[in-house]
Amino acid sequence: MASSNVTSEQRKSYQMPKGTAWIGGVAFTFFIALLGFFLAKVPGFNHIGQLACAIIIAVAYRQVFGYPEALRSGIAFSSKRLLRTAIILYGLKLNIDTVLSDGLGLLARDVGVIAFAIFMTVWLAKVFKADKNISLLLGVGTGVCGAAAIAAVAPIVKVKDEDTAIGVGIIALMGTIFAIGYTILRPILPLDSIEYGMWAGISLHEVAHVALAGAPAGEDGLAIALLAKLGRVFLLVPLCFIFIFIMKRKNKGTEEGNAKIEFPWFLVGFILLSILGSYVFGHSIPVSDGVMEGLFTLTTWLLTAAMVGLGLNVSLKDLRERAMRPLAAMTITSVLLSVIAYFIV
């Protein structure tokens, strides 16, 4: 009995305080981001950039050393909150005139992308006899905005937490592979910066992956890529309402289909900063180039830390054990989506 009490006390002594765990987790993601920064200076890796190098290191760390559970809260903060903050700041790079001229056309294409991704993934899952819940989440993640979409839809369709985690892991892994592939293909594709940005924005998985792939296209290409992607993010809200309606019908008026939807407020922040950047900063309010460059640099580091957080959620062991068939369905869908999107930009 005494030894049991000692063991309990020992376990308590190893528990990291919440504040320390949060700070340590965020610092850990920035440390790997720094390693990614230096790796991106190495010949060969310099072609894929800081973001991709950082997430490669993060995925490798997870497979060798496991997930640093003691730092979970800080890592989750980086992968979610820092990502949203970075996307809001990216609004400063968006020319609002581009939004007014091309936004509606992009939104129409985004609707088609979401419908294709979900229905194709679910149909292939039936053909492959794959897990239907994981496959549905992957279809939503592929069509809308990766992990954020999966996290929003999962409680509505009553998917288990472990299936949600597998879906997020697959999206992080495959989205990274596709984003790196896009950066490699960029120099040899007959697309200008705007067309390339549109292609990346309407076909890639995570917002961070779009930022990674869109960076080689320059500021205008990256801005249009984020615009196309954020149109898909915006469509997450009506999509969630559609799933709530379906679940209510399926459960015949019971409370099973009820779920709260978190509105993507960072989309509003992105739009507000794009308006400020287009019509206020540098016009009504003078802002030096040095300040703007500093904000852009901060944005890059925030995105890099967010990519690290995503990479640390990738477990290759889970993919092998439970999700190979859903992964196959999602991969085929992603390839087809990339091909179709290439021809419609």
DSSP 289-305: HHHHHHHHHHHHHHHHH
Q: What is the pLDDT of residue 14?
A: 47
C-alpha Rg value of the chain to the nearest Å: 21
Q: What is the pLDDT of residue 310?
A: 77
If we measure between CA atoms, which residue out of 149, 148, 210 comes closest to residue 179?
210
> Would you say 259 and 161 are in contact if contact means Cβ atoms under 8 Å apart?
no
The residues, ordered by sequence, that sit 6+ positions from 225 with a Cβ below 8 Å of its Cβ are 196, 197, 198, 200, 201, 210, 211, 213, 214, 217
If we measure between CA atoms, which residue out of 336, 264, 324, 256 comes closest to residue 87?
264
Q: What is the pLDDT of residue 311?
A: 80
If we measure between CA atoms, which residue out of 296, 264, 88, 83 comes closest to residue 175?
83
CA distance 70 to 170: 23
Q: What is the DSSP letter of 80?
A: I
Q: What is the pLDDT of residue 98?
A: 56
The residues, ordered by sequence, that sit 6+ positions from 42 with a Cβ below 8 Å of its Cβ are none
CA distance 322 to 328: 12
Q: What is the pLDDT of residue 237?
A: 75
Count CB atoms within 10 A of the CB of residue 222.
Answer: 25
Q: Where are the domains of the chain?
A: 81-344
As given in the structure block, the two tokens for residue 260 are 């709260």
Per-residue model confidence as pLDDT tens for the chain (345 residues): 444 444 433 434 346 677 788 899 999 999 999 999 999 888 877 766 787 788 789 888 988 898 888 888 898 898 878 877 887 887 776 666 655 666 677 888 889 999 999 999 999 999 999 999 999 999 999 999 887 788 778 877 878 777 887 887 788 778 888 998 998 899 899 999 999 999 999 999 887 789 888 988 888 888 888 888 878 877 887 888 888 888 777 766 555 545 454 555 776 787 788 788 777 775 667 777 777 788 888 888 988 898 788 788 777 776 677 788 999 999 999 999 999 999 988
CA distance 45 to 43: 6
Q: What is the pLDDT of residue 282?
A: 59
pTM for the model stands at 0.67
Cα 4 from chain centre: 44
> Would you say 148 and 236 are in contact if contact means Cβ atoms under 8 Å apart?
yes
